[in-house]
Amino acid sequence: MREVFHQSLEELQSGLVEIAELVATAMEKATTAFGTSDVTLAEEVIDADSVIDERALALDELAIEILARQQPVARDLRIVVMSLRVSASLERMGDIAEHVAQLTRMRFPERAIPKGLKSTFTRMGELDVALARDLAELLRTEDLDLAERIRNADDDIDELHIAVFEKVLSDSWQGEASATVDATLASRYHERFADHAVSVAKKVVYLATGDWAADPPA
Amino acid sequence: MREVFHQSLEELQSGLVEIAELVATAMEKATTAFGTSDVTLAEEVIDADSVIDERALALDELAIEILARQQPVARDLRIVVMSLRVSASLERMGDIAEHVAQLTRMRFPERAIPKGLKSTFTRMGELDVALARDLAELLRTEDLDLAERIRNADDDIDELHIAVFEKVLSDSWQGEASATVDATLASRYHERFADHAVSVAKKVVYLATGDWAADPPA
């Protein structure tokens, strides 16, 4: 019985790692699609999002089943609660990758990536992907250095987010309204993606350290 | 012991209702501030957001304590799990009201509300406030008709969200880039606020009906 219980807990943790990896791949493809106006790749990301949604849902069901049947305590309980809170953020990160892909599809055959911001968005995408991969690794290993790296990447993304607005609101900006809308949305998506990762990382830190109180809700 | 337990559960539910009411008030003030460029009111909303954050955090701690000490089952367990998932969405809705207030403050003494979109944003704000009040009432009563009303209001907000983009991307749009950015962000905030409300409503429906499986992660 205890063995079945611990198998379930391991399943929960490995399930979160898998979803984080799917999310990283989704953002990687979405970034490439956005940068190269590759509508086929964008559609692949859009189609694949339902897999992330289903995985998150299945994991929540497993978490609830563990709570109901096993009535875990202490660290075991914290793992289950962490999973219930983290799965929603991971699922949301998948949605955001899908939104980046949808921007690409919406503008096709035009380029979604606004002129003069190509390198900025490429960099934001790369940072988001790296941060999602670090998140998967953090969920697997609870290596808290990774949480620090995620926070730093989030700071870099926030700076790029501000740079996008400075560009768009500068006198030199010649983009049409559609380019302004796309830049605003794409930048906001990347920034939110990183925020969710930081929020997940915090929950893993508090799982490892046992300090829930300092954990701001996502 | 059982009595203490049921008091805790009631505290959890009434806590969610209170947060939903705080969120509704925050969005009401943010909408007024946005519409009238009232920077004092905007700052009131920004300052008050920490109260919502603290309430959500305290509620999560209570939920975890109930899980650890009482090991609830059946409907009691569903209430606790619902609370853990819903608090994050409510807290996020509070953040979004704060973002609307921040837009107001950022543009002050200019108007944040872009020309030609005043009535649209006033309507979006009103719908969001009504929907947050319905959400508080739904959490209090589990009256499922309210969930239906929330879904309908969300549809109306989605239509207005599309109308904003149509306006901004039309040939008649004369707004500067800053107006385009503001319209894009404000519209997106209102739309996300409603999405979160629908997500919470779904969780309450599944609390009432017992069907978790159909509940997509927020």
One digit per residue, the tens of pLDDT, for chain B of length 218 reads 567 778 999 999 999 999 999 999 999 999 999 999 999 999 999 999 999 999 999 999 999 999 999 989 988 999 999 999 999 999 999 999 999 999 999 988 888 788 889 999 999 999 999 999 999 999 999 999 999 999 999 999 999 999 999 999 999 998 899 999 999 999 999 999 999 999 999 999 988 887 654 444 44
Taking contacts as CB-CB distances below 8 angstroms, the residues of chain B near A92 are 217-218
Taking contacts as CB-CB distances below 8 angstroms, the residues of chain A near B88 are 85, 88, 217-218
Rounded to whole angstroms, how far apart are CA atoms A38 and B153? 35
Average of per-residue pLDDT values in chain A: 92
The answer to whether the CB atoms of B216 and A85 lie below 8 A apart is no
Locate the chain A residue with the closest alpha carbon to B172.
A177
The answer to whether the CB atoms of B60 and A212 lie below 8 A apart is yes
Taking contacts as CB-CB distances below 8 angstroms, the residues of chain B near A81 are 64, 67, 84
Give the pLDDT of residue A207: 86
Chain A interface includes B215 (CB < 8 A): yes
**Whether pLDDT at A93 is above 80:** yes
Chain B interface includes A18 (CB < 8 A): no
Give the pLDDT of residue B4: 77
Give the pLDDT of residue A215: 44
Give the pLDDT of residue A190: 98
Give the pLDDT of residue B49: 97
Mutate to test the interface with B, among A5, A49, A60, A96 (most CBs of B within 10 A): A60
How many angstroms away from the CA of A73 is the closest CA of chain B?
A: 6
The answer to whether the CB atoms of A181 and B184 lie below 8 A apart is yes
Which residue in the set B68, B91, B184 is minimally distant from A184, CB to CB?
B184
**CA angle in degrees (0–180, nearest 5) for A201-A204-A208:** 140
Most trustworthy range by pLDDT among A21-25, A69-73, A106-110, A169-173: A21-25
**Whether pLDDT at A65 is above 70:** yes
Cα R_g (chain B), whole angstroms: 19
**Whether pLDDT at A186 is above 70:** yes
Percent of chain A residues topping a pLDDT of 90: 82
Phi/psi for A73 (5° steps) reads -130, 170
Closest CA to B155 of B117, B191, B122, B126: B191
Taking contacts as CB-CB distances below 8 angstroms, the residues of chain B near A212 are 60-61, 64
Is there a contact between B153 and B131 (Cβ–Cβ < 8 Å)?
yes
Chain B interface includes A141 (CB < 8 A): no
Fold classification of B2-209 (topology level) = Methane Monooxygenase Hydroxylase; Chain G, domain 1 (1.20.58)
**Whether pLDDT at A114 is above 90:** no
Chain B interface includes A215 (CB < 8 A): yes
pLDDT band, residue A217 (cuts 50/70/90)? very low
Chain A interface includes B57 (CB < 8 A): yes
How many angstroms away from the CA of A86 is the closest CA of chain B?
A: 10
Chain Cα centroid distance, residue A42: 17
pLDDT band, residue A216 (cuts 50/70/90)? very low
**Global ipTM:** 0.89
Block residue for tokens 């309450």: B204
Give the pLDDT of residue A1: 58
How many angstroms away from the CA of A74 is the closest CA of chain B?
A: 7
The answer to whether the CB atoms of A67 and B88 lie below 8 A apart is no
- A133-150, pLDDT tens digit by residue? 999 999 999 999 999 999
